[in-house]
Amino acid sequence: MNLRLTAVALGLLALGASLPAAAQQGVTDTEIVIGDILPLTGPPALLGVAHNVGVKAAVAEANAAGGINGRKLRLISEDDGYVPSRTIQGVRKLVNSDKIFAFTSISGTAQAQAAMQLIRQSGLPAMAPITTYEGLYKPTIKNVFAVGYDMREAVYEMIVQMADRYPGKKWAVISQDDDYGQNVRDGFERAAKEKKLQVVSSQVFKKGQSDFSSEILKVKQSGAEALMAGGVLGENVTMVKELERIGHKIPVGVTYVSRVPASAKMMGTAGENVYTVDYVYLETSPEAKDFMAKLDKHLSPEERGKVNRYTFTGYSAARALFAAMDKCGKALTAACTIAELEKLKNLETGAMTPVSFSANDHLAAPKLFLMKADPASVSYKLVK
């Protein structure tokens, strides 16, 4: 895939980020244009659409309060269908044609990797709350800020906590053959080494696979008594339902990507032994009560029906961006917004634990909570 930009294009992009306030790209006396690039169609739309409505809620809330220093926000959303080549096209459109001031999302891991050169060269503030792969923040990219938790660290923390709850168990891991799966394996293997776990089965499946009967049978035959299921959404559902079908009821860990109502509903009773960790408040928690009321106020009934944890992260990242923009006053520039994001400390959004960045750390790594699926409520509950 050709990611090179012409010298002219790069020059224009750099110019857009360094223009004075009066001519700052995406900013007029009355309006600030921001943009999303994310999956709004296909299976990953379960994540992308939910994120999008979270940003819409943040925009509606800010505009209802008069905008940011008197300027109303206007969101332009581009659908990449979770296809990296379309991410690149969408980023080019948002930067060069729509002339946005900032990104509120840069899609998934492979998509962000493909478009990163363009985003970096644009110099525009870019929030990344859907994926938090290491390349977004290590080494620090001046204009990119990730809101979330490193997937490897999240898997590590989950397996450590599950190992403490289920000591002496034999473990199995099934992971995907891509960067996402590698992050799962890295986190699992680190925890396994530290906790001295006996790993009796380790399998890798091809991305897009839908039948896991063979893999789950191998898990049972290996004598595994606990499983790290390293799929994204549907893969994990299929794995736990297959475990239930063959009568092998064991604790299963999944990443927070799966912590959405649709996944819990599809798992049904098979999800009774499924755990995850997440930094986003549960929809039913007291901490999220005010945020849920905001969603009721600012979203349409149709949008409200699409809410899940990615709505929470989309809202939180947008709120962080808007807080930094607000600090710049009327002289709003990309450089000022980036500088203010680097000063952001313990921003309370009501959707997740506080968000902070620094000049040397562009990853907001909130506190993690251990959760267990609850088939009765078709959701998850905190594990005390």
Residue 9 has what pLDDT?
Answer: 44
| pLDDT average, residue stretch 63-88 | 96
Residue 14 confidence (pLDDT) above 60 = no
Residue 100 has what pLDDT?
Answer: 98
* Average pLDDT taken over every residue of the chain: 92
| pLDDT category of residue 367 using cuts at 50, 70 and 90 | confident
Token pair, residue 305, equals 């029906």
| pLDDT average, residue stretch 85-91 | 97
pLDDT 10s digits, 345-356? 999 999 999 999
How many percent of the chain have pLDDT more than 70?
94
Dist CA 175 CA 4 (whole Å): 32
Residue 375 confidence (pLDDT) above 60 = yes
Residue 22 confidence (pLDDT) above 70 = no
Residue 6 has what pLDDT?
Answer: 42
How many percent of the chain have pLDDT more than 90?
79
| pLDDT average, residue stretch 319-339 | 97
Residue 210 has what pLDDT?
Answer: 92
Residue 2 confidence (pLDDT) above 80 = no
Residue 365 has what pLDDT?
Answer: 78
Dist CA 192 CA 156 (whole Å): 9
Contact 58, 317 (CB under 8 A): no
316: left (phi over 0), alpha (psi -120 to 50) or beta: alpha
Please state, as a whole number, how many other Cβ atoms lie within 10 Å of the Cβ of residue 25: 24
Counting other chains too, the contacts that 166-170 makes at CB distance below 8 Å and 24 or more residues apart are 166/225, 166/226, 166/251, 169/197, 169/198, 169/225, 169/226, 169/250, 169/251, 170/198, 170/199, 170/200, 170/222, 170/223, 170/224, 170/225, 170/226
Token pair, residue 209, equals 């696979």
Residue 48 has what pLDDT?
Answer: 94
Residue 170 has what pLDDT?
Answer: 98
| pLDDT average, residue stretch 202-229 | 96
Residue 11 confidence (pLDDT) above 80 = no
| pLDDT average, residue stretch 163-185 | 94
Residue 180 has what pLDDT?
Answer: 82
Residue 95 confidence (pLDDT) above 70 = yes
| pLDDT category of residue 1 using cuts at 50, 70 and 90 | very low
Residue 174 has what pLDDT?
Answer: 98
Q: Which residues contact 258 (CB under 8 A, 6 or more apart)?
A: 231, 232, 233, 236, 237, 276
| pLDDT category of residue 258 using cuts at 50, 70 and 90 | confident
The model's pTM is: 0.85
| pLDDT average, residue stretch 52-72 | 98
Residue 22: φ, ψ to 5°: -60, -25
- Interstrand relation of 379-382 and 369-374 (parallel, antiparallel or unpaired): antiparallel
Residue 207 has what pLDDT?
Answer: 82
Residue 115 confidence (pLDDT) above 90 = yes
Give which of 360, 369, 264, 279 is closest to 317, Cα–Cα. Answer: 279
The DSSP secondary-structure symbol of 199 reads E
| pLDDT category of residue 228 using cuts at 50, 70 and 90 | very high
Residue 110 has what pLDDT?
Answer: 83
Which residue would you say has higher pLDDT here, 5 or 291?
291
Concatenate the DSSP letters of all residues of 106-129 into one string.
E-SHHHHHHHHHHHHHH---EEE-
Residue 52 has what pLDDT?
Answer: 97
The alpha-carbon radius of gyration of the chain (Å, integer) is: 21
Sign of CA dihedral 200, 206, 207, 211: negative
| pLDDT average, residue stretch 121-148 | 93
HSE (side-chain half, CA atoms, 13 Å) at 254: 28
CA 151 vs CA 109, 154, 160, 314: distances in Å: 11, 5, 14, 17
Residue 86 has what pLDDT?
Answer: 97
